[in-house]
Structure 1
Amino acid sequence: MWRKVLAAATGSLLHHPWRTIACRHSTNVSSAVNSMLLRSLKDHYLEVSKMSPPTKVSPPSPFTIVKGSLDGSGPVLKRSYGDHEEISISVMRLANIIPGGAGEDDGDDSINQLFLHVDVSKPGQQDSLHFLCGLYPDALGIHSISMRPKAESSGFLILPSQYNGPVFEDLDERMRDALHSYIEERGINEDLFPFLQAWLYVKDHRNLMRWFKSVGTFINENKSAKYS
């Protein structure tokens, strides 16, 4: 019985030898590609791991760093103002909003231009006052102001579901100046730039390291990719 089965299988292979050859060739190529990719991922991981972190910078007082913010997408800094206001700040780079939006001729502009989402909330109020600002090493400008539903995590991915208010530039100069004074009085100014810039470097470095490692683990089916 077993001889008949073996003979039938052997005969099938002799009539269609390319099936075995193609399968073996495909497996070998796939294994070689995976090995090459894993080596490249590991090399890049090790290279990035040797990069020196930026000089440690503390946020300007009285802002404090939100715990776990490096691993999340919510607020980075928070503070209390007066007896009733809570202020939180989220940050991201222009390149993260519009990939390639800053041209090659812009030099360091894309690095030195940060976007802040500033939420001012009060207890008992369902909505918070939300400012979208552009932050530079020597200046801060307001792009828009809106009222948004208060959330436990005022991350910058939360979108408003109601009227956003007028375009900031359409407001008269006196009101624009008053709104700038309003947030400056609450510590929202260019003094935040050194800390937020350094914080973003650390976050980007962590994300890149995590990306190399997670892709390597996925490619390596037995999840034994080791980086040391």
Structure 2
Amino acid sequence: MSIRAAAARRHPWRSLLARHFSSSSSSAAVDSLLLRSLKEHYLEVSRMTPPPKVNPPSPFTIVKGGLDRDGPVLRGAYKDEEISITVMRLANIVPADADDDENSINQLFLHVDVSKPSRADSLHFLCGLYPDALGIHSVCLRPKAESGAAPESSRVVSKYQGRVFYELDQKLRDAFHIFIESRGVNEKLFPFLQAWLYVKDHRNLMRWFKSVGAFINEQKSA
């Protein structure tokens, strides 16, 4: 097989363009094709049935505006502590194989910050959340996040962060699990966070179709 034939097989859309839009004056036709496809996909996504509304379990409440930005989704209180939770899908961090796509949907990553008003730092947990379990990946102390800030924001971590979590003694690991679960961070969060991520992903996708369509349409008009 020639290199050209192999490339055509990998990118069949190029052959389609070559057949239908071979002249330099076909830019408007290409734009129209793209706009039509974007509209079809937008309408298809808009007809998707959202999951049933689920409320977060106690003691958490939904962070206002969380759907429109990265950052905390839930906040709760435990005695004098504030607990904030940020969530993302494992598939958004590590692309899944097609055969493992369903499992990746049911694997969530949580950034959990436990802070005290008298402290300048917070106890930060990185956790894996599943429909029937919660696992801790790491625990560290780090400067408090500003209100609404995403966990990826640039916060300097200068203190010694301790040993790798799975190298800790089993009794200490169990104690950390009891600590975080006593503050309401457990598998009961999964139904709400799964539904919340669906709504967020759906909203972002709808916004993306509209934004790209607006860009192409403006270019076409110009």
Does residue 89 of structure 1 match 2:85?
yes
Cα separation, partners in 2 of 1:144 and 1:205, compared to 1, 3 Å? same
Asked if structure 1 preserves the Cα contact closer than 8 Å seen for 2:31 and 2:220, the reply is no
Q: Hey, what's the Cα distance between the residues in 2 that align with 1:154 and 1:119? A: 12
Q: Hey, what's the Cα distance between the residues in 1 that align with 2:126 and 2:41? A: 36
Q: Hey, what's the Cα distance between the residues in 1 that align with 2:117 and 2:190? A: 28
Does residue 46 of structure 1 match 2:40?
no
Asked if structure 1 preserves the Cα contact closer than 8 Å seen for 2:28 and 2:220, the reply is no
CA RMSD of aligned residues (A): 1.6
Letter in 1 for 2:113: D
TM-superposed deviation, 1:106: 2.3
Q: Which residue of 2 is the match for residue 6 of structure 1?
A: none
TM-score by length of 1: 0.82
TM-superposed deviation, 1:207: 0.4
TM-superposed deviation, 1:222: 6.5
Tell which structure's C-alpha radius of gyration is larger: 1
Q: Hey, what's the Cα distance between the residues in 2 that align with 1:154 and 1:71? A: 13
Q: Which residue of 2 is the match for residue 146 of structure 1?
A: 140
Quick one: which of 165, 186, 191 aligns to 2:183?
A: 186
How many residues align? The count is 196
Which aligned runs of 4 or more in structure 1 are off by greater than 3 angstroms? none
Q: Which residue of 1 is the match for residue 152 of structure 2?
A: 157
Q: Hey, what's the Cα distance between the residues in 1 that align with 2:72 and 2:207? A: 21
TM-score by length of 2: 0.84
TM-superposed deviation, 1:221: 1.4
Q: Which runs of 5+ in 2 are unaligned?
A: 1-22
- 2:110 aligns to what SS in structure 1? strand
Asked if structure 2 preserves the Cα contact closer than 8 Å seen for 1:119 and 1:154, the reply is no
Q: Which residue of 1 is the match for residue 113 of structure 2?
A: 119
User: What percent of counterpart residues are identical?
Assistant: 70
Letter in 1 for 2:102: D
